[in-house]
Structure 1
Amino acid sequence: MNGFWSSWWAFAFMLAPFVIAMSGVAMNTYMACTRDFDRIIASLPNTSRLTQRIPFWGATDFKTRWYLLAGIAGVMIYPKLCVRLGVVDAEDLRNFPPRLRRRLLMTAWLVNIGCIWLAIGVALIKLSPTR
Structure 2
Amino acid sequence: MIDINSWPLYVQLAFGLGPFVIGFSGGGILVFTTLRHYDRIVSSFPNSRGVQNVLRIFANYGFHPRSMQVAAIAGIVLFPRMCIRRGELEPEEVRNFPPEIKRLMVIFTTLLGVGLAWVALAVVLLKLSGGN
Q: Name the TM tier (shorter chain).
A: 0.7 to 0.9
Question: Partner residue of 1:28?
Answer: 30
Runs of 4+ in 1 over 3 A off after TM superposition: 52-59
> 1:102 aligned to 2:103?
yes
Report the count of equivalent residues.
128
Letter in 2 for 1:115: L
Identical amino acids, percent of aligned pairs: 32
Unaligned 5+ runs, structure 1:
none
CA distance in 1, matches of 2:77, 2:41: 12
> TM-score of the superposition, structure 2-length normalised?
0.84
Cα displacement (A) at 1:10: 1.3
Cα displacement (A) at 1:82: 2.6
Question: Partner residue of 2:66?
Answer: 65
Larger CA deviation: 13-22 vs 47-56: 47-56
Question: Partner residue of 1:13?
Answer: 15
CA distance in 2, matches of 1:107, 1:24: 4
Q: Say which SS state the counterpart of residue 60 (structure 1) adopts.
A: coil
> CA RMSD, aligned part only?
2.0
Q: Is the 8 A contact 1:76 1:105 kept in 2?
A: no
> 1:92 aligned to 2:93?
yes
